[in-house]
Chain A
Amino acid sequence: MLTSGPVVIMQLPEELNVKEVDHFMQEVGPLLESNRPRIVLECSQVHSMESAGVEMLLRCLEEVLKRDGDLKLAALSSEAEVILELMRVARVFETFPTSEEAVRSFNAIPADAIPQDAPWYSTLFGDLGALKQAS
């Protein structure tokens, strides 16, 4: 059975240096180990980011992808954008102007809203699934 937890929005700290990265990883660590983690990192407060911060973002992305989840960045500050572009990782992440848009992009359907006996593709193809069943 494929189910997903809720989309979790987390605010990144103003400075993503080694110390803050350690602190943030402690917070986000359990979430990364969950089943299909879906995370939005809100970056509006980020004013400086060391290479440790960029590595942390990449590590988080790697972990969530391993568990069939996804990580998206939202509301990037200009500083964060400049640093991600500078470090050539801007294209690695899916980015959104707001956290709401990032959450919507997950196409989040509450797990209890999906009938447990429905075929797996019904949520993906909608009417197409019904058409197949009818035929």
Chain B
Amino acid sequence: MAGAIVIAGSDPQVSDHKIRISTASDGWDRWRSGMASIPVLGCSPIARTAEAMKSAGLTGISILGPTSWGEKNGIRSSEEQAWLLAADELKTCKEKNVDAVVITRTGHYIECEWQSLLEQHGKYGEVASRAFDSEGPLDLWVVDPSRFCVDGDLLAMLQVTKVAEWAVKGYVNRLAGARDFRRFVTDIFSSRCRVRPYATEVRPGVWVADGAQIARNARVVAPAYIGHGVKILDDCLITRGSTVEANSYVDFGTAIEDSSVLPDTYVGIGLDLSHSIVDGDEIVNLRHEVRLRISDPVVMRRHFSKAQHDPHSVTENERDCVLFH
């Protein structure tokens, strides 16, 4: 029997699935820890990892890190706390006589044969095995809970313990910045990894999730992804590997090209969004390598769908949405 512990990114600026960037001068590394929990084509890398583990027969998968519930109740979990919880979880596994536990810290996305990893770990006979790729070590270990001493800082112990090296042959994306994030999206579209969009392929390369509304005069050109509850108004163009994640709203005449619009984002009228990632009023432009906050809510802002808030408030724009099909 094998279990798994997934340490979710826990940067205090990051909630359960949102990037929070405070100023334009913040470093790219701020993205790193939270990126695995941002939905990409309908589902976050962390959820996809857990799903893959479950499919491979791993049981008792614990995802440790900040939660939206915790944030609402003023509880801010730090990564150190998550590692403390992980140490406790590992002790519990030991008590339950679990043979091996996969421990991974998501800040990256790894596709591997989980069963093969466990078999190799058993074959090597070391207390712990660690995954490597061509660029070096990855934050993915398999430990034998009965032999692994879990007192103190689990992460520090994992880093100093003698490990058997296991080469990952599958897809790896370190999600080390906005560029990696966009690369992940394009890799999904071009099937360079196993990830599939959480949506229906309505035309070759065009994925539309349930509840998305696309105006008749809007054009969605492959490859593109439109998430759940998204509204795309007339004369918009979504193309070149762009994704519009759940509950976002793209207003009249806007063109989105080689960009990702993260969940609950309003993108204003007649804009030209390219080579960017947008989250609420924050935009990261990859061509100019700059991140900035758009202070004008007419241009971009956090968007709360009617269903979540006031179901009776219908704006002029939305009244015109009878053309949706």
Give the CA-CA distance A92 to B90 in the complex, in Å: 61
Given the contacts A17-B295, A50-B295, A82 and B290 also touching, CB distance less than 8 Å: yes
Binds A, one of B151-159, B167-175, B182-190, B267-275: B267-275
Chain A window 35-50, contacts with chain B (Cβ cutoff 8 Å), 1 for yes, 0 for no: 0000000000001101
B interface residue numbers (CB < 8 A to A)? 24, 270-274, 276, 283, 285, 288-290, 292-296, 298-299
Cβ–Cβ contact A47 & B292, under 8 A: yes
B299 proximity list for chain A (CB < 8 A) = 50-51, 86-87
Question: A46 CB to closest chain B CB, in angstroms?
Answer: 10
Cβ–Cβ contact A79 & B271, under 8 A: no
Question: Which of the four size classes fits the interface of chain A?
Answer: 10 to 19
A85 at the interface (CB under 8 A from B): yes
Candidates A17, A82, A87; contact of B288 at CB < 8 Å: A82
Given the contacts A78-B285, A78-B288, A82-B288, A51 and B271 also touching, CB distance less than 8 Å: no
- 17 inter-chain pairs at a CB distance below 8 angstroms, sorted by A residue, are A47-B24, A47-B292, A48-B293, A48-B294, A48-B295, A50-B295, A51-B296, A78-B290, A79-B290, A79-B292, A82-B283, A82-B285, A85-B274, A86-B271, A86-B272, A86-B299, A87-B272
B290 proximity list for chain A (CB < 8 A) = 78-79, 82
A88 at the interface (CB under 8 A from B): yes
A82 proximity list for chain B (CB < 8 A) = 276, 283, 285, 288, 290, 292
Give the CA-CA distance A112 to B4 in the complex, in Å: 82
A62 at the interface (CB under 8 A from B): no
Query: Closest 3 interchain pairs by CB?
Result: A78-B290, A50-B296, A78-B288
Question: A43 CB to closest chain B CB, in angstroms?
Answer: 13
A interface residue numbers (CB < 8 A to B)? 17, 47-48, 50-52, 78-79, 81-83, 85-88
Question: Would you call the interface of chain A mostly helix, strand, loop, or mixed?
Answer: helix
Given the contacts A48-B295, A51-B299, A82-B283, A88 and B270 also touching, CB distance less than 8 Å: yes
Give the CA-CA distance A51 to B268 in the complex, in Å: 11
Candidates B276, B288, B296; contact of A81 at CB < 8 Å: B288
Give the CA-CA distance A110 to B261 in the complex, in Å: 51
